[in-house]
Amino acid sequence: MSVSGRGTSQPSSLQPRIVVAMDYHNADDCLRVAHQLSPQLCRLKVGKELFTACGPQLVEQLMTLGFDVFLDLKFHDIPNTTAKAVRAAAELGVWMVNVHVSGGRRMMLAAREALEGLQSPPLLIGVTVLTSMDADDLAGVGVQRSPEQQVLYLADLAKQAGLDGVVCSAREAHALKQACGKDFTLVTPGIRPVSAEQGDQRRIMTPAEAITAGSDYLVIGRPITQAADPMLACREILADIDGACDHVQ
Ligand SMILES: O=c1ccn([C@@H]2O[C@H](COP(=O)(O)O)[C@@H](O)[C@H]2O)c(=O)[nH]1
Question: Would you say residue 124 has pLDDT above 90?
Answer: yes
Torsion angle, alpha carbons of 8, 117, 55, 61, to 10: 50
Range 5-16 burial, b when 16+ CB lie within 10 A, else e: eeeebebeeebb
Backbone angles phi, psi at 61, to 5 degrees: -65, -40
pTM, entire model: 0.95
Question: 15 falls in which pLDDT band (50, 70, 90)?
Answer: confident
The set of catalytic residues is 74
Question: 75 falls in which pLDDT band (50, 70, 90)?
Answer: very high
Residues with CB under 6 A from ligand 1: 21, 23, 47, 127, 130-132, 167, 189-190, 199, 201, 219-222
Question: Would you say residue 243 has pLDDT above 80?
Answer: no
Q: Which residues are annotated as a binding site for substrate?
A: 23, 45, 72-81, 131, 192, 201, 221-222
Domains with residue ranges and CATH for the chain: 18-248 (3.20.20.70)
**What is the model's pLDDT at position 1?**
43
Residue whose CA is at the smallest distance from ligand 1 atom 10: 221
Residue with more model confidence, 246 or 214:
214
Question: Would you say residue 53 has pLDDT above 70?
Answer: yes
